[in-house]
Chain A
Amino acid sequence: MFLLTLGFTETKSDTSLFIYRHGSETAYLLLYVDDIVLTASSQPLLQRIIVSLQQEFAMKDLGVLHHFLGVTVEHRPSGMFLHQRQYTLDILERAGMNDCNPCSTPVDTQAKLSADMGASVADPTTYRSLAGAL
C-alpha cells in the first residue's frame, strides 16, 4: 500500500488509522473509502505528506476539517463543535416532521415498549427507514 511506502504504519486499534513517526515528527492519517483526515505535528510535515499523496492520487486538499462521515466540524475559540444538523434536517424532511412541536426529552420516563402489543403500523417500510436513520 502506498501509505506504507511513505513511512506510515497501520495501527492495531483501527485498520483505517495510520501513523507516521520519525524522530519528533508525527502524523496521523484516517482513511475511510475515499475520505482522508490528516493531521501532523508541524505545518511543513503536513504539506510534505499532502504533496506526496497528490503525486500518487488525484485528490484535493479541502483545508481545515469541516466534514467527516456525516459529521460537521465547526472551529470555535473554545474548541471544536461537532454536529449533524444537515443529516438531522434530512431525516425530519423524510418523516414530514419539519414543523412538528419539539419535545424536551427523547423518551417517556415510564416507557416500556412490548414487541407485540397493539396494532401493526400501516407503513412499516417508512418506520424502518426512519428508525434506521437515527
Chain B
Amino acid sequence: MHDPRESHLTALKRLLRYVRGTIDYGLLLHPSSSAELVVYTDADWTGCPDTRRRTSGYAIFLGGNLVSWSSKRQPVVSRSSAEVEYWAVANGVAEASCLRQLLAELHSPLAKSTLVYCDNISAVYLSTNPVQHQRTKYVEIDLHFVRDQVAVGDARVLHVPTTSQFADIFTKGLPSSTFSEFRSSLNVTCG
C-alpha cells in the first residue's frame, strides 16, 4: 500500500469492474429450522511471491445461511501444505467457537457439533490423530486448539472434495464457471 505499482492499479480496476457487474448482487438470508454450524476452510498453498505467506479463508453457515467469512494472508511462513491447511482449519474453528459462544449467550445453544470441511486429507487426519509428527510441530498450538474442540464434541473435521470446497473463492482466482457456482452456493445472488 505504501508504494502501489501499475500492476496493482490494474488489479484494482479489474476488481472494480467486477463490482460494477455485480451491483445488484447481495446476500440472501432465509428462515431456517436447522441449527447447525458448517465451516468450509481452505488455504492457497502457492500464495504470495514476495513473502511466501499463504492466503487462507473460510465460509461459515448457520442453518444454511452464510453468517461469517474471511479471506486473509497468514501471518507466518509455513513449511508444508498440511501445515497451511491446518492453520486455515484452526482459524475457521476459532471463529465457529466464537459463534457457538454467541449463540449460547443468545439462549440458542447448538446441540450438534460444528462440521468443518477441508479438502486436505492430512489436515483432517491431524485433527483426531494424537500422534505428534516432527514436521507438524510448528502448528502445535493450532493443533491442540482444534483437537480440544474435537475432543469435547464441539467440532468434527471432515474431508470435502475440491469441487465442493466453497472457501476456495476466498483464497484464489477461479475460472468464471466455478466462481459463479461457488458464489451462488454462498447465497450471494442477483436481487
Contacts and interface: CB of A to CB of B under 8 A. Distances in A.
Interface of A: 11-14, 17, 19, 21, 26, 28, 74, 76, 78-85, 88-89, 91-92, 95, 97-98, 100-121, 124, 127-128, 130-131, 134
Given A120-B3, A121-B6, A100 B16 contact: yes
B66 to A, nearest CB: 10
Contacts of B21: 102-104
A106 B172 CA distance: 10
Contacts of B173: 105, 107-111
Contacts of A92: 16, 19-20, 23
B4 interface: yes
Given A13-B102, A21-B107, A80 B28 contact: yes
Contact of A128 (B4, B172, B174): B4
Interface of B: 1, 3-9, 11-31, 46, 48-50, 98, 101-102, 105-107, 172-176, 179-180, 191
B175 to A, nearest CB: 6
Contacts of B3: 115-116, 120, 124
Nearest to A21: B107
A81 B26 contact: yes
